Structure 1
């Protein structure tokens, strides 16, 4: 069986797609993934959903922390400008 995907998907998402989640896949999807696993490029990795979610949560927490720091700095700068 030969698997193909539309070229437009590759064109539109080859540089922007960072995550692809396959939930409740069809048997043909599992067959394809089993065949394709050995042919993945080095910059593509497979991870469990739980591992991905943990990493995503860590990144979001870091972003929130940076946002808080930026807000504090902005508030400090405003108070300096007022004086």
Structure 2
């Protein structure tokens, strides 16, 4: 599933992910397990509220690499 971040339309970054969830334009959200709780707490709550699937990734670095960026990422999402 993580490989889809390289091939499908995506957004990266907590602010953008939150905005996209509110607009109901995401299928799946990826969250790094090692991200600070205060950063990802809102994303998790929105996902539960909007019934969006969450996939947890071990590290922010791994999530950033999967997204094809050279920096770490706390969250990312696949767009509808």
Q: TM-score range by the shorter chain?
A: under 0.3
Please identify which structure carries the higher helix content: 1
TM-score normalized by structure 2? 0.25
TM-score normalized by structure 1? 0.24
By relative contact order (CA 8 Å, sep 6+), the higher-ranking structure is 2
